[in-house]
Amino acid sequence: MPAPIVLLTDFGLSDGYAGVLHGVILGLNPGAQVVDLSHDVPPQDIRAAAYVLSTAYRYFPAGSIFVVVVDPGVGSARQPIAVEAEGRLFVAPDNGVLTPVLAEEGARVVRLSEPRYWLPNPSRTFHGRDIFAPVAAHLSMGVPLSALGEPLAEPVLLPASRPERRPDGGWLAHIQHIDRFGNLITDLRPTPEALGQIEGAEVHGRPVSLLVETYADIPPDTPALLIGSGGYLEIAVRDGDAHLELGAEVGDDVMVYVTDVTA
Protein backbone atom coordinates (compact mmCIF):
# COMPACT_ATOMS: atom_id res chain seq x y z
CA MET A 1 0.00 0.00 0.00
CA PRO A 2 1.42 3.44 -0.87
CA ALA A 3 2.31 5.86 1.91
CA PRO A 4 -0.60 8.23 2.53
CA ILE A 5 -1.10 11.84 1.56
CA VAL A 6 -2.22 13.50 4.79
CA LEU A 7 -4.32 16.68 4.80
CA LEU A 8 -4.27 19.30 7.57
CA THR A 9 -6.24 22.49 6.96
CA ASP A 10 -8.52 25.13 8.47
CA PHE A 11 -11.13 24.60 5.74
CA GLY A 12 -13.80 22.92 7.86
CA LEU A 13 -16.32 20.60 6.23
CA SER A 14 -19.28 22.87 5.54
CA ASP A 15 -17.80 23.97 2.20
CA GLY A 16 -16.24 21.85 -0.51
CA TYR A 17 -12.67 23.07 -0.05
CA ALA A 18 -11.35 20.01 1.79
CA GLY A 19 -13.08 17.59 -0.56
CA VAL A 20 -11.65 19.33 -3.61
CA LEU A 21 -8.14 18.56 -2.35
CA HIS A 22 -9.09 14.87 -2.45
CA GLY A 23 -10.44 15.30 -5.97
CA VAL A 24 -7.31 16.99 -7.29
CA ILE A 25 -5.00 14.39 -5.77
CA LEU A 26 -7.06 11.44 -7.00
CA GLY A 27 -7.46 13.00 -10.43
CA LEU A 28 -3.68 12.99 -10.82
CA ASN A 29 -2.98 9.75 -8.94
CA PRO A 30 -6.06 7.50 -8.70
CA GLY A 31 -4.09 5.05 -6.56
CA ALA A 32 -3.29 7.59 -3.84
CA GLN A 33 -4.36 6.98 -0.26
CA VAL A 34 -5.63 10.28 1.14
CA VAL A 35 -6.06 10.72 4.90
CA ASP A 36 -7.71 13.65 6.69
CA LEU A 37 -5.70 14.52 9.78
CA SER A 38 -7.90 17.52 10.56
CA HIS A 39 -9.80 20.28 8.79
CA ASP A 40 -10.83 21.95 12.06
CA VAL A 41 -7.76 24.06 12.77
CA PRO A 42 -9.11 27.47 13.89
CA PRO A 43 -9.31 29.70 10.82
CA GLN A 44 -5.97 31.27 9.90
CA ASP A 45 -4.33 30.02 13.13
CA ILE A 46 -0.85 29.11 11.88
CA ARG A 47 0.49 28.34 15.35
CA ALA A 48 -2.36 25.92 16.11
CA ALA A 49 -1.74 24.08 12.84
CA ALA A 50 1.98 23.83 13.61
CA TYR A 51 1.17 22.35 17.01
CA VAL A 52 -1.24 19.77 15.57
CA LEU A 53 1.35 18.80 12.98
CA SER A 54 4.07 18.48 15.64
CA THR A 55 1.99 15.99 17.63
CA ALA A 56 0.98 13.86 14.64
CA TYR A 57 3.52 13.44 11.85
CA ARG A 58 5.79 10.95 13.60
CA TYR A 59 2.89 8.50 13.86
CA PHE A 60 2.58 8.21 10.09
CA PRO A 61 4.82 5.84 8.11
CA ALA A 62 8.01 6.90 6.39
CA GLY A 63 7.27 8.32 2.95
CA SER A 64 4.03 10.00 4.04
CA ILE A 65 3.26 13.31 2.33
CA PHE A 66 1.63 16.06 4.39
CA VAL A 67 -0.35 18.88 2.79
CA VAL A 68 -0.71 21.65 5.36
CA VAL A 69 -2.92 24.54 4.25
CA VAL A 70 -3.51 27.25 6.83
CA ASP A 71 -2.70 30.18 4.63
CA PRO A 72 -3.92 33.68 5.53
CA GLY A 73 -1.28 35.09 3.16
CA VAL A 74 -2.48 33.20 0.08
CA GLY A 75 -1.88 35.23 -3.08
CA SER A 76 0.68 37.50 -1.39
CA ALA A 77 4.47 37.44 -1.66
CA ARG A 78 4.73 34.45 0.68
CA GLN A 79 6.31 31.43 -1.01
CA PRO A 80 4.87 27.92 -1.48
CA ILE A 81 7.39 25.33 -0.26
CA ALA A 82 8.04 21.63 0.14
CA VAL A 83 10.18 20.06 2.85
CA GLU A 84 11.76 16.66 3.35
CA ALA A 85 12.38 15.79 7.01
CA GLU A 86 12.37 12.66 9.13
CA GLY A 87 11.75 10.51 6.05
CA ARG A 88 8.52 12.35 5.22
CA LEU A 89 7.48 15.12 2.83
CA PHE A 90 5.56 18.29 3.63
CA VAL A 91 3.90 20.76 1.26
CA ALA A 92 2.70 24.10 2.63
CA PRO A 93 2.95 27.89 2.50
CA ASP A 94 6.16 29.38 3.86
CA ASN A 95 4.49 31.09 6.81
CA GLY A 96 5.87 29.15 9.78
CA VAL A 97 3.31 26.35 9.74
CA LEU A 98 6.12 23.82 9.09
CA THR A 99 8.30 25.09 11.97
CA PRO A 100 8.19 21.72 13.83
CA VAL A 101 9.62 19.76 10.89
CA LEU A 102 12.04 22.47 9.83
CA ALA A 103 13.65 22.05 13.25
CA GLU A 104 14.55 18.45 12.44
CA GLU A 105 18.19 17.78 11.63
CA GLY A 106 18.82 17.52 7.90
CA ALA A 107 15.54 19.09 6.80
CA ARG A 108 15.63 20.06 3.10
CA VAL A 109 13.48 22.90 1.75
CA VAL A 110 12.63 23.92 -1.81
CA ARG A 111 10.52 26.76 -3.15
CA LEU A 112 7.74 25.49 -5.39
CA SER A 113 8.69 27.34 -8.57
CA GLU A 114 7.96 24.71 -11.25
CA PRO A 115 4.39 25.34 -12.49
CA ARG A 116 4.38 22.13 -14.54
CA TYR A 117 3.54 20.38 -11.22
CA TRP A 118 0.59 22.71 -10.52
CA LEU A 119 -2.87 22.91 -12.00
CA PRO A 120 -3.06 25.25 -15.00
CA ASN A 121 -3.87 28.91 -14.35
CA PRO A 122 -3.73 28.75 -10.53
CA SER A 123 -6.12 30.94 -8.59
CA ARG A 124 -4.64 33.62 -6.32
CA THR A 125 -6.96 32.54 -3.50
CA PHE A 126 -6.87 28.72 -3.50
CA HIS A 127 -3.29 27.49 -3.64
CA GLY A 128 -4.34 24.42 -1.65
CA ARG A 129 -6.24 23.20 -4.69
CA ASP A 130 -4.04 24.57 -7.45
CA ILE A 131 -0.50 24.19 -6.09
CA PHE A 132 -0.19 22.19 -2.87
CA ALA A 133 -2.53 19.27 -3.69
CA PRO A 134 -1.13 18.66 -7.20
CA VAL A 135 2.44 18.91 -5.94
CA ALA A 136 1.65 16.27 -3.31
CA ALA A 137 0.12 14.04 -5.98
CA HIS A 138 3.25 14.32 -8.14
CA LEU A 139 5.45 13.55 -5.12
CA SER A 140 3.35 10.44 -4.50
CA MET A 141 4.09 9.33 -8.06
CA GLY A 142 7.83 9.58 -7.54
CA VAL A 143 8.72 13.13 -8.60
CA PRO A 144 11.80 14.06 -6.53
CA LEU A 145 11.84 17.07 -4.23
CA SER A 146 14.64 18.65 -6.25
CA ALA A 147 12.44 18.77 -9.37
CA LEU A 148 9.90 21.06 -7.72
CA GLY A 149 12.10 24.13 -7.49
CA GLU A 150 15.29 25.61 -6.11
CA PRO A 151 16.51 25.24 -2.50
CA LEU A 152 15.26 27.82 0.00
CA ALA A 153 17.88 28.79 2.56
CA GLU A 154 15.81 30.67 5.14
CA PRO A 155 12.22 29.48 5.48
CA VAL A 156 9.92 31.33 7.86
CA LEU A 157 9.94 30.03 11.44
CA LEU A 158 7.50 30.79 14.23
CA PRO A 159 8.97 32.22 17.44
CA ALA A 160 9.72 29.36 19.81
CA SER A 161 7.60 28.91 22.93
CA ARG A 162 9.90 27.73 25.70
CA PRO A 163 9.48 27.53 29.47
CA GLU A 164 11.86 29.59 31.59
CA ARG A 165 13.48 28.39 34.81
CA ARG A 166 12.75 30.70 37.74
CA PRO A 167 15.24 31.52 40.52
CA ASP A 168 13.19 29.53 43.05
CA GLY A 169 13.53 26.38 40.91
CA GLY A 170 10.03 26.58 39.46
CA TRP A 171 9.08 27.33 35.90
CA LEU A 172 7.44 30.10 33.97
CA ALA A 173 5.59 28.12 31.31
CA HIS A 174 3.27 29.37 28.59
CA ILE A 175 0.06 28.08 27.06
CA GLN A 176 0.99 26.93 23.56
CA HIS A 177 -2.29 25.32 22.54
CA ILE A 178 -5.91 24.94 23.62
CA ASP A 179 -7.57 21.78 22.36
CA ARG A 180 -11.26 21.33 21.54
CA PHE A 181 -11.95 20.16 25.12
CA GLY A 182 -10.60 23.43 26.51
CA ASN A 183 -7.48 21.82 27.95
CA LEU A 184 -4.63 24.31 28.35
CA ILE A 185 -1.49 22.70 26.97
CA THR A 186 1.71 24.36 28.16
CA ASP A 187 5.18 24.31 26.62
CA LEU A 188 6.64 22.55 29.70
CA ARG A 189 7.54 18.90 29.14
CA PRO A 190 8.69 17.65 32.56
CA THR A 191 11.10 14.78 33.04
CA PRO A 192 9.83 12.05 35.42
CA GLU A 193 12.07 13.51 38.13
CA ALA A 194 10.80 17.04 37.57
CA LEU A 195 7.20 15.82 37.49
CA GLY A 196 7.61 14.41 40.99
CA GLN A 197 8.63 17.85 42.24
CA ILE A 198 5.66 19.80 40.87
CA GLU A 199 3.47 21.15 43.67
CA GLY A 200 1.03 23.17 41.62
CA ALA A 201 0.56 26.01 39.21
CA GLU A 202 -1.09 29.38 38.85
CA VAL A 203 -2.91 30.94 35.92
CA HIS A 204 -4.23 34.52 36.08
CA GLY A 205 -3.91 34.37 39.85
CA ARG A 206 -5.92 31.13 40.10
CA PRO A 207 -4.06 28.31 41.88
CA VAL A 208 -4.17 24.79 40.44
CA SER A 209 -2.86 22.42 43.09
CA LEU A 210 -4.19 19.00 42.08
CA LEU A 211 -1.81 16.80 40.06
CA VAL A 212 -3.36 13.67 38.54
CA GLU A 213 -2.43 10.92 36.08
CA THR A 214 -5.56 10.89 33.95
CA TYR A 215 -8.68 12.95 33.28
CA ALA A 216 -10.85 10.42 35.11
CA ASP A 217 -8.99 11.25 38.34
CA ILE A 218 -10.14 14.88 38.29
CA PRO A 219 -13.11 15.79 40.51
CA PRO A 220 -15.88 17.54 38.54
CA ASP A 221 -15.42 21.27 37.97
CA THR A 222 -11.92 21.24 39.49
CA PRO A 223 -8.90 22.44 37.50
CA ALA A 224 -6.05 19.94 37.66
CA LEU A 225 -2.59 19.35 36.24
CA LEU A 226 -1.59 16.28 34.27
CA ILE A 227 0.76 15.18 31.52
CA GLY A 228 -1.09 14.94 28.23
CA SER A 229 -0.50 12.53 25.37
CA GLY A 230 2.10 14.85 23.83
CA GLY A 231 4.19 14.81 27.00
CA TYR A 232 3.38 18.40 27.94
CA LEU A 233 2.01 19.63 31.26
CA GLU A 234 -1.59 20.69 30.80
CA ILE A 235 -4.45 22.03 32.84
CA ALA A 236 -7.82 20.36 32.46
CA VAL A 237 -11.31 20.57 33.97
CA ARG A 238 -13.24 17.31 33.80
CA ASP A 239 -16.81 17.80 32.58
CA GLY A 240 -15.86 21.42 31.96
CA ASP A 241 -13.55 23.70 30.04
CA ALA A 242 -10.30 24.99 31.55
CA HIS A 243 -10.07 27.64 28.83
CA LEU A 244 -13.37 29.18 29.95
CA GLU A 245 -12.98 28.39 33.65
CA LEU A 246 -9.62 30.11 33.96
CA GLY A 247 -10.04 32.72 31.21
CA ALA A 248 -6.68 31.74 29.71
CA GLU A 249 -5.53 32.14 26.13
CA VAL A 250 -2.64 30.93 23.99
CA GLY A 251 0.51 32.76 25.03
CA ASP A 252 -0.58 33.35 28.63
CA ASP A 253 1.86 32.61 31.45
CA VAL A 254 1.55 29.60 33.74
CA MET A 255 3.58 29.70 36.96
CA VAL A 256 4.64 26.17 37.90
CA TYR A 257 5.72 25.63 41.49
CA VAL A 258 8.01 22.83 42.65
CA THR A 259 9.02 21.27 45.93
CA ASP A 260 11.98 22.95 47.61
CA VAL A 261 14.45 20.05 47.35
CA THR A 262 16.98 21.95 49.47
CA ALA A 263 14.71 22.16 52.50
For residue 114, what is the domain's CATH number?
Answer: 3.40.50.10790
Nearest to 45 by CA among 79, 22, 68: 68
Task: Write down the pLDDT at residue 51.
Answer: 96
Asked if the structure places residue 155 within a domain, the reply is no
What's the sign of the alpha-carbon dihedral 219, 221, 226, 229?
positive
**pLDDT per residue over 108-121, tens digit each?**
999 999 999 999 99
Quick one: 9 and 119 in the same domain?
yes
Global confidence as pTM:
0.93
pLDDT in tens, 7-29: 999 999 999 999 999 999 999 99
Shared-domain flag, residues 179 and 87:
no
**Parent domain of 191:** 164-258
**195 pLDDT tier (thresholds 50, 70, 90):** confident
Number of domains in the chain: 2
Of the candidates 114, 64, 116, 118, the one whose C-alpha atom is nearest the C-alpha of residue 86 is 64
The answer to whether the Cα torsion of 162, 98, 18, 141 is positive or negative is negative
Which of 70, 25, 262 minimizes the C-alpha distance to 167?
262
* 172 and 118, same domain (yes or no): no
CA 30/CA 5 separation, integer angstroms: 12
Does residue 104 sit in the same domain as residue 44? Answer: yes
As a whole number, mean pLDDT of residues 133-148 equals 97
Residues 254 and 129 in one domain: no
In a domain, residue 108? The reply is: yes
